[in-house]
Structure 1
């Protein structure tokens, strides 16, 4: 009897372990929210650098004091130079990225939905994707001039190719069982694309959007370092030429904040478009 009871208890044990709910989020396990830890680590790193520069452990020719960088940023803002340099940078990033991402999503959808277009364009995309886009800046200057046109073109071209790859890859990853189910219910091709393919591909497209916008910020700085009077890239170039580390790191900090804001914007779009995934 004791052996039977032990066996029964052992048999019930796994059932109890498996009976608990497993919470999912977006097809994966729900991550714990520890936002404060990231902020704490950042503050600790800044504190270490501040202490190291004040105590002489870190040479001022290597890293400036974070307090001096913050003071430079405050003066940069109060003088009105922040708006003067940030406004054209944001304008270039928005226009160039919008052109590149819109074209990339369109081409990526065509590649994902039509095999003939896939056969013709995938080799072309594979050929131009590895090309360093910064190396093409002189060519864009020749084609579009040294003004805004070349900057828009560089950012658009740089965001175009990763968006194409992310989009048609997302379309390929849509569950084919859902498509067959839609066909069995007699849905038209347009309805299947609109109700099944696009929602299923949207997570992959938005993930690619984060990468494309990050590349756009990198190319923005490169474009502004050539022939731009105002812009964060031009500001960083001027600071580097004068070996003014405080101004240089202030410009880098502005770019970091811009990247965080762009990522937060994509997250908001993701929450609105992917409510069904929660």
Structure 2
């Protein structure tokens, strides 16, 4: 026998190394302070330029004067008197146009006969400038709220339809075939595969549609509206009151930021499966 001593196997625990999760590549990260910093820098540059004379007061008012105008609007109650009707018109018109647009877009994406009948019609309506139809809507629905709702709804409808059926078309067909191979029903495939897969494209289309709705809201309120952000901007422009004019523009910008934040919140809630 060999005189070499036998050594017992080592019972020391093996060292483990933690590896960072690398499955979230290309996922967007939110840095809210960057956007706020950009706005602050631009406002400071505008304030400095208007105070030093580098920017003419005839072309751009001081941001401090615009903020002062905001305070006067709030204290006088005119802010909510103009903002309330605008929000109501935007909510009614955009909701109607978006709901009908998503429904029609899904039907176009799912059914070939509906696609054959409606895609040429949508293609004919989509390039028409919606603002050019405002006089026609006034003739059809009157000078009151009906024409404003119709213009906003129609302007929201067409881009939503295009974005929705394009999103349905872009759903991975491999997933659909997999569902068919597992014996899922047609409705189960639509509900569990097609609609979730199309949702990112639908929400992206809604961002554009709602931005168009805000533009059409201003155009509609500039014709025959006593109160509203568009009417306020028109009054300020006719008086060449730059502070009030830019205050109205800032309100519209904040309204766009609010709409974008709502869409982002919906995306986080319904698209959590992408992370």
TM-score of the two chains, using structure 1 as the length reference: 0.90
Match of 2:10 in 1: none
Alpha-carbon separation, structure 2, partners of 1:29 and 1:171: 23
How far is the alpha carbon of 1:116 from its aligned partner?
1.0
Q: Distance in 2 between matches of 1:263 and 1:45?
A: 21
SS in 2 for 1:259: helix
String of CA shifts for 1:37-80, please: whole Å, max 9, x gaps. 22222211111111111111111110000000000011101110
Residues of 2 paired with 1:33 and 1:217: CA distance?
Answer: 25
1:158 aligns with 2:155: yes
Give distance in 2, aligned partners of 1:70 and 1:31. 33
What's the offset of the Cα at 1:218? 0.4
Q: Distance in 1 between matches of 2:26 and 2:60?
A: 40
Contact 1:23 1:30 (8 Å CA) reproduced: no
Alignment of 1:15-94 (within 5 A): 21-24=21-24, 29-94=26-91
Deviates more, 1:96-105 or 1:33-42: 33-42
- Residue 20 of structure 1: how far off its partner (Å): 7.0
> Which consecutive residues of structure 2, in runs of 5 or more, have no partner in the other structure?
1-18
Mapping of residues 98-247 of structure 1, within 5 Å: 98-247=95-244
RMSD: 1.2
Distance in 2 of aligned mates of 1:94 and 1:20: 44
| 2-structure distance, mates of 1:95, 1:121 | 24
In the alignment, the residues of structure 2 paired with residue 30 and residue 166 of structure 1 have an alpha-carbon distance, to the nearest angstrom, of 22
Q: How many residues align?
A: 257
* 1:96 aligned onto 2:86: no
Would you tell me which structure has more helix in proportion to its own residues?
1
Which 4+ stretches in 1 moved above 4 angstroms? none
Counterpart-to-counterpart distance in 1, 2:120 and 2:214: 27
1:23 touches 1:29 (CA, 8 Å); kept in 2? no
TM-score, with normalisation over the residues of structure 2?
Answer: 0.91
Task: For residue 29 of structure 1, give the secondary structure of its aligned residue in structure 2.
Answer: coil
Matched residue of 1:197: which SS? helix
Q: What is the CA distance between 1:174 and its match in structure 2?
A: 0.5
Deviation at 1:32, TM superposition (A): 4.0
Name the structure 2 match of 1:11: none
Taking the aligned partners of 2:31 and 2:267, their CA distance within structure 1 comes to 20
CA displacement at 1:35 relative to structure 2: 2.4
